[in-house]
A and B are shown apart, each in its own frame.
Chain A
Amino acid sequence: MSRLLSRRTAHSGGAGLELIDAVPVRHPWRWVGAVVILLILVLVVQSMTTNPKFYWGTFRTYLFDVLVIQGVGWTLILTVTSMIIAIVLAILLAFMRQSDNPLFRYVSWVWVWFFRGTPVYTQLLFWGSVGALYPKIIVGVPFGPELFSWDTATVINATVAAIVGLGLNESAYLAEIFRAGLKSVDNGQMEAAEALGMRRSKVMWRIILPQAMRVIIPPTGNETIGMLKTTSLVLAVPFTLDLTFVTNALASRTFLPIPLLMVAAFWYLGITSVLMVGQYYIERHYGKGVDNVTKAPVQATAAAAAAHAKPVDPADGTTEGGRP
């Protein structure tokens, strides 16, 4: 017993303190569960590798095919640009929704109502047919002279139609996420900033939005990963260079859909993983001061507070008087 004690005190820094060394609660079923899951995993992998109908040779051939890599590139371009458009619009729409100006509030509401209320596939079809509906874009005086004109087909080509279609649709969903984020910030923040003489737009941009980002980022990451997969709908435009279209085309050429589906799935999963890493760092950035408060400064605070502690002046009746 005494030997055990001395060993423990040595561990605790020799202060003569006996640290608690309790026996933890055992969880045998967790081990059973882990074994079962591992077993299922092994079976799945085994069945996939030994089943010749997966054509893993074809999978390997096309995984880094030039067309596939280009498809990955186009899918990334569509995802990133349409999300950028959507985020910019969503910030604007969310600010408008909170504005004192009733016109802004109404416009924002109608925008969200419309773009969220119609299918993205329909919207993409529409943007693909703008050229047929309006062959020329003309800037000029109504019923007067024509100043500039362009062929619609050159301005709104398939790429632009796909990006605009995806971006506008997504902006409506993101606007609601941003609105929820802005509402999550304590009203006292707005009051404090306004009391300092800051204009409302500045308060929103510098004080409210950065704090709202903590709430906004996780669902926006969700939407971005959703968008990555939604880009496969751009065949409605028709846009024919994205990953899903390319792998489908290759599949119908080779008559082997399964390995090419696997190729597409591999890349979607890969990009999603990269996006998740990015989201982690963005979350960390906007969590500063709130989520990731480091331990060290807190300890320093305590130490400094002790050092700072002023002896109470006995002649100072303020605190005693106020709090008897």
Chain B
Amino acid sequence: MTDTASIKKQESTRTKPLVEIQGVHKLFGSHHVLKGIDMTVKQGEVSVIIGPSGSGKSTLLRCINLLETISAGRIYVHDDLIGYREVNGKLHDLTTKQIAAQRREIGMVFQRFNLFPHKTALQNVIEAPTQVKRQSKAAAKLKATELLEMVGLGDRADFYPSQLSGGQQQRVAIARALAMEPELMLFDEPTSALDPELVGDVLEVMKDLAKSGMTMIVVTHEIGFAREVGDTLTFMDAGVVVESGNPREIIANPQHHRTQEFLSRVL
């Protein structure tokens, strides 16, 4: 771990958690997807969420940056209540402008990359800084070039997404999210759509990011990544947190039978 990262981590110990999820429920019609999730993520922490498909882990992640609205509970990021304004115990919807402002602090990486296909790698990365933060094109390009180099794609700046491999596209997507200088990065199964030989490069970039002190919530099936990089591991099944704690301990010695069952299938 680098010096700056350890300083960041020390700082974080005295402050409140960066992300606080309190009793969150999510219903899609009559389908109860999240059933009372509690979770905290401290500044600089890498929180890994695993679980079978349909367990609600992606939905939880999408609730944090308001791609889904929650049905009950509270989510706080940096003491900001996500999606609502609380006045005298009554919640009021935020305006689209306020929601956009909250999202700026949270970067998201998708399973299917979702790069803008009509823009080059560089244009993808500078889009939000120039359009949302109103940075000058020159400054944004400088920063974007740095970020693309950081993810190992300095020589791919002028390529369109269709000219890049899946792994390269996902690394551009990470650079694009980082360009907004978020406090928190959400990864929604970032390697699930990749060919096996391309997974390593993306995980490498995520590992570097974790070392730099970025707060990350990662939904993944990469147990190795959870063990090596994760500070906490949460196992979700059927909309509830079944088990949560130190990744190495849980993977080596899962307490709950559902965790044991899941791990025995993926390991």
Which A residues form the contact surface with B (CB < 8 A)?
100, 186, 188-189, 191-200, 202, 206-207, 210-211, 286, 288-290, 293, 297-298, 301, 304-305, 308, 310, 312, 316-324
Question: Can you report 15 residue pairs joining A to B where beta carbons are below 8 Å apart?
Answer: A188-B114, A192-B173, A194-B67, A195-B103, A195-B177, A196-B132, A199-B96, A202-B132, A289-B118, A301-B164, A308-B152, A318-B200, A318-B229, A323-B196, A323-B199
Q: Is the CB of A289 within 8 A of B114?
A: no
Contact B103 A197 (CB under 8 A): yes
Report B91-119 residues with CB < 8 Å from chain A CB.
Answer: 96-97, 100-101, 103-104, 106-108, 110, 112, 114-119
CA of A288 to CA of B123 in the docked complex: distance in angstroms? 13
Q: Which residue of B lies closest to A214 (CB)?
A: B118
B37 at the interface (CB under 8 A from A): no
A186 to B168 CA separation, bound complex (whole angstroms): 20
Contact of A293 among B101, B131, B163, B225 (CB under 8 A): B163
- State the CA gap A211–B124 with chains docked (Å): 14
Q: Is the CB of B176 within 8 A of A191?
A: no
Closest chain B residue to A200, Cβ basis? B96
- Assess whether B73 is interfacial by the CB under 8 Å rule: no
Asked, given contacts A198-B128, A200-B96, A290-B118, whether A297 binds B222 with beta carbons under 8 Å apart, the answer is no
Q: Give, as a whole number of angstroms, the nearest-CB distance from B242 to chain A.
A: 20
With beta carbons under 8 angstroms apart, the residue of A196, A211, A316, A320 that contacts B103 is A196
- The answer for the CA separation of A179 and B205 in the assembled complex, in Å, is 39
User: Residue A206 contacts which of B131, B201, B222, B224 (CB distance < 8 angstroms)?
Assistant: B131
**Across the interface, do A318 and B163 meet the contact criterion of CB distance under 8 Å?**
no
A195 to chain B, nearest CB (A): 4
In angstroms, how far is the closest chain A Cβ from the Cβ of B97? Answer: 7
- Is B127 located at the chain interface by the 8 A CB criterion? yes
The interface-forming segment of B78-86, B140-148, B153-161, B254-262 is B153-161
**A188, B203: Cα distance in complex, Å:** 22
Chain B residues with CB under 8 Å of A211's CB are 116-118
Q: Do residues B100 and A198 form an inter-chain contact, with CB atoms below 8 A?
A: yes
Q: Which residues of B contact A198 (CB under 8 A)?
A: 100, 127-128, 131-132
In B17-57, which residues have CB < 8 Å from any A CB? none
CB pair B127 A206 closer than 8 Å: yes
Tell me the chain B residues, 211-255 only, with Cβ under 8 Å from chain A.
220-225, 227-229
A186 to B117: give the CA distance in the assembly, Å.
11
CB distance from A212 to the nearest CB of B (A): 10
> How far apart are the CA atoms of A253 and B64 in the complex, in Å?
76
A297 to chain B, nearest CB (A): 5
A318, B132: Cβ atoms closer than 8 Å: no
Q: Is the CB of B165 within 8 A of A305?
A: yes
- Please determine whether A297 and B159 come into contact, CB atoms closer than 8 angstroms: yes
Question: Quick check: is B120 within 8 A (CB to CB) of the other chain?
Answer: yes
Q: Name the contact of A317 in the complex, choosing from B112, B159, B168, B224 (C-beta under 8 A).
A: B224
Contacts of A289 on B, CB cut-off 8 Å? 117-120, 160-162
A304 to B156, CA, bound (A): 9
Main SS at interface, chain A: helix
Once bound together, how far apart are the Cα atoms of A301 and B160, in whole Å? 11
Cβ–Cβ contact B116 & A319, under 8 A:
no
- In chain A, what residue has the closest Cβ to B267? A324
Contact in complex: A188, B177 (CB < 8 Å)? no
Q: What's the nearest-Cβ distance from chain A to residue B159, in Å?
A: 6
Task: Please tell me if the beta carbons of A207 and B103 are within 8 angstroms of each other in the complex.
Answer: no
Instruction: Answer yes or no: B74 CB below 8 A from chain A CBs.
Output: no
Would you call A196 and B163 a contact (CB within 8 A)?
Answer: no
Please indicate the chain B residues that have their CB under 8 angstroms from the CB of A186 in the complex.
114
* Complex CA distance for A312 and B101, rounded to whole angstroms: 41
**What residues on A are CB-neighbors of B65 within 8 Å?**
195
Report the nearest B residue to A291, measured CB to CB. B162
Interchain CA distance A194-B177 in the complex, whole Å: 11
Whether the Cβ atoms of A318 and B159 lie closer than 8 Å is: no
Complex formed: what's the CA distance from A308 to B149 in Å? 13
Select one of A197, A297, A316, A320 contacting B163, CB under 8 A.
A297
Chain B residue with the shortest CB-CB distance to A294: B163
In the complex, B180 has a CB within 8 A of chain A: yes
A197 near B101: Cβ-Cβ < 8 Å: yes
Alpha-carbon separation in the docked complex, A290 to B164 (Å): 12
Instruction: Output the nearest chain B residue to A286 by Cβ-Cβ distance.
Output: B118
B9 interfacial by beta-carbon distance below 8 Å: no
- Taking the closest CB of chain B, its distance from the CB of A159, in whole angstroms, is 37
Question: Taking the nearest CB of chain A, how far is it from the CB of B118, in angstroms?
Answer: 5
Residues of A within 8 Å of B204, CB to CB, are 318
Given contacts A195-B67, A312-B200, A318-B222, 11 further A-B contacts (CB under 8 A): A188-B110, A188-B112, A193-B127, A197-B103, A198-B100, A210-B118, A293-B163, A319-B200, A322-B199, A322-B224, A323-B199
The answer to whether A318 and B203 touch (CB under 8 A), given A196-B177, A308-B152, is yes
A3→B144 CA distance, assembly (Å)? 58
B residues within 8 A CB of A197?
100-101, 103-104, 128, 132, 180
The 7 closest A-B pairs by CB, nearest first: A321-B224, A197-B104, A322-B222, A192-B114, A289-B160, A196-B128, A188-B114
Which listed residue, A202, A301, A322, touches B131 by the CB 8 Å rule?
A202
Residue of A nearest to B108 (CB): A195
